[in-house]
């Protein structure tokens, strides 16, 4: 039932892929290839594909907290550093033509974390006054909230408080179940989406294909799950966004986050 549902509710996604030609879709396609490789325990090639996806669009960095936890759980500190070095090396290779000519301009524009988004395009913060939307203090509070919720997922869902020290072993050779790989990566990205400074319409693709899994893991009743996904689709199709569509989007996000954190049954795909 999942594939027909995704096809029938993909109006905005069809626009992103076929009409607008945004690079978000390309980045996510490469990212999902990386996820498949990680599931198959091919961590080196998976990290290469992950870094290539980052090279297309920086939103893929929202998966990085989850990826870091997975690397530490799988290999320990030593192996995690080696894999992160591979990711960094790919970025250097991709940027070499620009780093060798205009290094400062390339670094400043390619990794512009201080970018100011236009209020008229925001999907998620329309109910705020524009001065608050542009406020540095507001951006900082979102960052703090992002870190705090990631920390809760770390000790409550991605690992356990009693075994947290295992992440800091120098060498490890642990096996991670495929469903855990997917769960940690998808929830890491979702938390980042919830605390984004602004979401534009093309950003829907950042988590569209993960939403059915996230709702499934929340263990909501099937009827409520379908309603939740349809409401999310509605929020992303209201143009221009309104106070009510933005509030509704946050309510849906909050429901999923709370359900994920309070659900205690074993993770299953």
Extract the residue ranges of the chain whose pLDDT is less than 70: 1-3, 5, 18-20, 111-114, 161-163, 264-269
What pLDDT is stored for residue 114 in this prediction? Answer: 66
157: tokens are 């869902």
How far apart, in whole angstroms, are the C-alpha atoms of residue 160 and residue 143?
Answer: 24
How far apart, in whole angstroms, are the C-alpha atoms of residue 110 and residue 22?
Answer: 17
**What would the 3-class secondary structure string for 21-50 be?**
CCHHHHHHHHHHHHHHHHHCCCHHHHHHHH
3-state DSSP helix/strand/coil % of the chain, to nearest 5: 75, 0, 25
Please say whether the beta carbons of 74 and 178 come within 8 A: no
What pLDDT is stored for residue 185 in this prediction? Answer: 97
Please say whether the beta carbons of 269 and 213 come within 8 A: yes
How far apart, in whole angstroms, are the C-alpha atoms of residue 77 and residue 262?
Answer: 30
Please say whether the beta carbons of 53 and 27 come within 8 A: yes
Residue ranges of alpha helices (H) inside the chain are 2-8, 11-14, 23-39, 43-56, 64-99, 103-110, 130-133, 136-153, 178-194, 211-217, 222-237, 243-262
What Å distances lie between residue 36 and 24, 107, 164, 191, CA to CA?
19, 30, 26, 21
What pLDDT is stored for residue 3 in this prediction? Answer: 66
> If DSSP codes are grouped into helix, strand and coil, which group holds residue 108?
helix
What pLDDT is stored for residue 269 in this prediction? Answer: 43
Cis-peptide, bond into residue 240, ω within 30° of zero:
yes
204: tokens are 């829907």
Residue ranges of alpha helices (H) inside 57-100 are 64-99
Q: 87: closest CA among 114, 118, 63, 109?
A: 63
What pLDDT is stored for residue 180 in this prediction? Answer: 93
The tens digit of pLDDT for each residue in 40-72 reads 999 999 999 999 999 999 999 999 999 999 999
């Amino acid at each position: 039932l999942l594939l027909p549902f995704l096809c029938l509710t993909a109006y905005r996604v069809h626009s992103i892929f076929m009409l607008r030609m945004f690079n978000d879709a390309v980045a996510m396609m490469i990212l999902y290839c990386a996820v498949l490789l990680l599931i198959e325990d091919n961590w080196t090639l998976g990290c290469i594909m992950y870094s290539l996806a980052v090279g297309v669009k920086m939103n893929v960095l929202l998966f990085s907290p989850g990826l870091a936890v997975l690397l530490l759980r799988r290999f320990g500190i030593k192996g995690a550093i080696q894999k992160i070095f591979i990711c960094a090396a790919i970025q250097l290779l991709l940027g070499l033509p620009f780093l060798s000519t205009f290094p400062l301009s390339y670094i400043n524009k390619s990794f512009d974390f201080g970018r100011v988004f236009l209020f008229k395009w925001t999907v998620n913060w329309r109910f705020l006054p524009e001065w608050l939307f542009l406020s540095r203090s507001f951006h900082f509070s979102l960052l703090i909230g992002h870190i705090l919720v990631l920390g809760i997922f770390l000790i409550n869902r991605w690992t356990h408080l009693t075994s947290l020290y295992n992440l800091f072993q120098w060498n490890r050779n642990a096996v991670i179940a495929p469903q855990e790989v997917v769960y940690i990566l998808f929830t890491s990205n979702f938390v980042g989406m919830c605390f984004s400074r602004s979401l534009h319409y093309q950003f829907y693709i950042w988590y569209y294909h993960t939403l059915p899994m996230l709702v499934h893991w929340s263990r909501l009743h099937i009827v409520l799950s379908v309603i939740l996904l349809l409401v999310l689709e509605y929020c992303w199709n209201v143009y221009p966004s309104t106070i009510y569509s933005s509030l509704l989007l946050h309510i849906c996000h909050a429901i999923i986050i709370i359900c994920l954190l309070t659900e205690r049954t074993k993770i299953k795909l």
